[in-house]
A = this chain, B = another copy of it.
Amino acid sequence: MSSRIRRIAISTGGGDAPGLNAVIRAVVIAASDRDWECYGIREGYNGILFPERYPEGGVFRLTRDRVRGIGHLGGTILGTTNKGNPLAFPMRMADGTVKEVDRTGEILDTFARKELDALVCIGGDGSLTIAHALHKKGLRVVGVPKTIDNDLDKTYTTFGFDTAVSFATECLDRLHSTAESHQRVIVVEMMGRYAGWIALHSGIAGSAHAILIPEIPFDLDKVAAKIRARDQVGRMYSLVVVAEGANPATGHRSVLEEASAGQVERLGGIGEWVAKGLQDLTGKDARTVVLGHLLRGGSPTSFDRLAALRFGAAAVRALAEGQSGVMVALALPNVNYVPLDEVAGRMKAVPPDCDTLQTGRDLGICFGD
């Protein structure tokens, strides 16, 4: 691994996140400054695993010209995928059965054949686990964390999260006037399967009246009580933010009992379930808005652009310093490097004693507990 770097490859895996292109831009420019050539791998590792799909090349040259003016664009010029983990790739065998096969060897072969000296891998928990495996097999690898949900441990935050919170807050702003004019309960469901960061931050910034997150099992009766208390002082509407991974603890039996997994699904998700329950409990008209897909895309905020550029530049510096098997992390005020084996499989939930949660409570927001 001590040999001089001349060519590096970049890969983006998992879901879309605002700032991916800014990371790519920073990697390419910072690497070009060191006279390294950059190559992009299309759609995770598909550019290597399925070269036949890409007539223009599954691994293609990234020049300064190619990344000009992409820093503020959403999406990723490399494409991404969250199918086909090369560590356990589902393949149909001769006997018709499907087996999961380790295809990382093909990736290493391609790196060797194309004389690619290192990989910058931008992705979430899954992608970083693959990166870690490639590192252990001898590839020079630096990971860049990506998670809109902000649920990756060991980094204060990542790019994409601020953009998502910002847009979710704008949506809450918009819904206030409509909910108030129509005296309704509006339930806003947003991303956050395992951690409620987006719901918590946007809910407080956007003046929601209740916020339900996976970390705090909720009692729907308490939410209903909050809504009724508001009605009694003449505040005839309420906004309820629900992370998609929020879970009812107890309470409101009549709805809860029928809410087997399948039925929640049928209702269109937890947001719909909460709205229906609150309508039953309060007698008020309740509606659901699901933000899901809207939070993934779009132009990154200045905060996320800067974070993404810092991550990309730091990844190149890490390689130049001879590092491998590390993830770039934000340990404010600076970036640092964290060994990949300390990252994989570690989830960062909202801590019950964090001051942000306490701020919500001080502001009278109901968390359903």
Contact = CB atoms under 8 A, between A and B. Distances in A.
Interface of A: 15-16, 18, 26, 29-30, 33, 69, 71-76, 79-82, 156, 162, 165-171, 173-183, 186, 201-202, 204-207, 268, 287, 289-290, 292-294, 296-299, 301-303, 305-306, 309-310, 313-314, 316-317, 332-335, 354-356, 358-359, 362-364
A178 B313 CA distance: 25
A182 B16 contact: yes
B71 A362 contact: no
A11 to B, nearest CB: 13
A152 to B, nearest CB: 13
Contacts of A81: 182-183
Contacts of A33: 362, 364
B30 A156 contact: no
Nearest to A304: B205
A316 B359 CA distance: 10
A316 B181 contact: no
A177 B313 contact: no
A120 to B, nearest CB: 13
Contacts of A15: 178, 181-182
Contacts of A73: 177
Contact of A75 (B82, B178, B201): B178
23 contacts: A16-B182, A18-B177, A30-B362, A69-B207, A74-B177, A75-B176, A75-B181, A79-B181, A79-B183, A80-B181, A81-B182, A156-B332, A165-B303, A167-B174, A168-B302, A169-B305, A174-B296, A176-B297, A177-B298, A204-B309, A205-B309, A303-B303, A332-B332
A317 B362 contact: yes
A181 B76 contact: yes
A305 B173 contact: no
Given A173-B298, A313-B359, A314-B359, 13 more contacts: A15-B181, A18-B177, A29-B363, A169-B305, A170-B298, A173-B297, A174-B296, A175-B297, A287-B293, A289-B294, A306-B356, A317-B358, A335-B355
A306 B205 contact: yes
A364 B177 CA distance: 28
A12 B289 CA distance: 25
Nearest to A186: B293
A267 B364 CA distance: 36
Contact of A175 (B176, B177, B293): B293
